[in-house]
Amino acid sequence: MKVARYNFNVKPKKPNAAFMWITKHFAGYPLLKKHKFECEYVNMEGIKPPYFLLANHASEMDFRILYGAIKPLNMNYVVAIDAMHDNTITLMRLAGGICKRKFIQDFQLIKHMKYCAEHYKNPICIYPEARYSFDGTQSYLTPAVGKMAKYLKLPVVLIMSYGNFIANPQWNKDKFRPVPVKGKLVCIATADEVDELSADELNRRIKENFVYDDFRYQYDNKIKIDFKERARGLHRILYQCCECETEHEMYSEGSTLECKHCGKKWKMTEYGRLEAHDGETRFAHIPDWFKWERENVRREVESGSYCIEDEIEVHTLPKNKFFAQGKGKFRQDVTGTHFWCNAYGKPFEMHLAPSQLESVHIEFGYRDKKGKKTFGDCLDISNNDDSFWLHPVNRRDVIMKISFATEELYRISREKIRGESNK
C-alpha cells in the first residue's frame, strides 16, 4: 500500500503577515485579554530578531502567550506533525511552522531553523520539553538544545508562562478556567556569549532559568479555581496511591481523588492543594506526588524489575491522515521499548534500546479532530517516515508510567556510556 508521507526537505515559509494578523486578533489576543495577560521583560534591551526562543509547554494557550510576549512580531516555530494534522498543513505552514516528528534526531530540522533565521529574520521558537507539562512543572530538557544554540549563533531567549497550565491542564482540558496568566521574556545569552560559551554552559543557563511550578504559583497567589470538576482526570498522572502504593486503581471525579484499593480519598481544593478526607495528607502539593511516582519507577528500572506489556490498538500518521492498523503488542522493559503490529498490510516491528529514545510523547483521551475518532490514552513513537500511535487495550493508566520509564532508561544508559568513556 502506497501512502503519502510528509516531505521534511521542503523549506519552511515566512509567516504570512495578513493571515497572522487575522489569527492573532481573532484567535489569540482576545483570550489573552480574558486571562489578563501581562509580560515581564528581562535583559531584552537591544535584543532584536532573529533570536532563538525557548518556550515552556503548558496548555493550548501556549501559542497565544508567545505572540502576546513578542507582539507585534511573527515567528517561525517547530511544530509536531500531529499539530500539523490537527490544524492542517497549509495553515500551519502559512503561520511559519517547521514540521518534525517527536523525539527523533532530525538534522534537516536544524538546517530549516538556520534558513529561517538567515532569510526571514524572525524569532525561531521551539518547545524544548517537546510535549505539554503534566504536573505544571518543567519536563525533561534534551541537552541537544545547547548544541542547537551554538549552531544557530543567535541570542538565546526564554519565554516562561505562569497560570497557563492550571487554566487548562492536559488531564482535564475540556474548559479554560478564568486564571490570570503571566509571562516572562528573558535573554539568558547574547549572540557574543553564545559564541564564547560551551554547549554545556548554555544548557546549564537554560536549565537554571527554565523553571516553573503552576500549582505553587496558584497557591502562593491565592488564585481560586471553583470549577466543580477540577480534579477529574487527575488519576491519569497520579496513578499510584501514596497510601497503599497500589498502581492503576486510582479514580477521580468532581473535586475528589480516590484509591479504590484502600479507600483513601483526597479533596483537590480551590487553591490546587490536596487534602486527605481522613488521616494524614502525605502530598498536599501535586508535583511532589508526581515526583515520588517517578522515583519509584527509577528504582524499578535500576533493579531490573521494570516491565509493562499489553495489547495495543495502532494508528499511523505518515502525513496528514491517520490510518488504523489494527491490534499489536507492546513491551517495555530494561532492554528498551518494543512493539509489533501490521502496518499497511505488512508485519512491522520497532525495537528501541534505552539509549535510542530520550522521551516519549503521550496524550490523554486523544481525539482525531479530522476523523472525529477518539483513540483514548495513547503514546506516540516515531521513526523518520511515520508516527505510530499506540493505545493500550487492557491496562488502564499506564502511559504516564511508560513516559517516566522511557526517560529513566535513557538517563541510566547515558550515565553508563559516560562512565565507560571516562575509564
pLDDT one-digit tens code per residue, 320-361: 999 999 999 999 999 999 999 999 999 999 999 999 999 999
Position 166 pLDDT exceeds 70:
yes
Residue 371 has pLDDT above 80, yes or no: no
Please determine, for residue 308, whether its predicted confidence score (pLDDT) is greater than 80: yes
Which among 65, 69, 75 has a CA at the least distance from the CA of 15? 75
Q: How far apart are CA 128 and CA 139, in angstroms?
A: 9
Read off the pLDDT band of 12 (50, 70, 90): very high
Residue 164 has pLDDT above 80, yes or no: yes
pLDDT one-digit tens code per residue, 111-128: 999 999 999 999 999 999
DSSP-based three-state secondary structure for 303? helix
Q: Mean of the pLDDT values across residues 175-192?
A: 95
Per-chain mean pLDDT for the chain: 94
Per-residue cell: 163: 497560570
Question: Strands 323-333 and 336-343, how do they pair?
Answer: antiparallel
Residue 84 and residue 89: Cα distance in Å, rounded? 5
Q: What is the pLDDT of residue 421?
A: 57
Q: How distant, in Å, are the alpha carbons of 74, 324, 353 from that of 309? A: 44, 21, 16
The whole-number pLDDT of residue 142 equals 87
What strand order describes the sheet that includes 361-368? 346-352, 336-343, 323-333, 307-316, 387-392, 373-382, 361-368
Alpha helices by DSSP H, 37-119: 62-70, 81-87, 89-94, 107-119
72 prior amide bond cis, ω within 30: yes
For residue 423, pLDDT over 60 is answered with no
Checking if the pLDDT of 420 tops 70, the result is no
Mean pLDDT of 390-406: 97
Cα 363–Cα 323–Cα 128 angle in degrees, nearest 5: 35
Coil, helix or strand for 415?
helix
> Rounded to whole angstroms, how far apart are CA atoms 55 and 65?
10
- Residue 224: what pLDDT? 96
The per-residue pLDDT for range 16-69, each reduced to its tens digit, is: 999 999 999 999 999 999 999 999 999 999 999 999 999 999 988 999 999 999
pLDDT at 417: 78
Task: Quote the CA–CA distance of 281 and 284 in Å, as a whole number.
Answer: 6
C-alpha to C-alpha distance for 35 and 422, rounded to whole angstroms:
51
* Strands 387-392 vs 373-382: parallel, antiparallel or unpaired: antiparallel
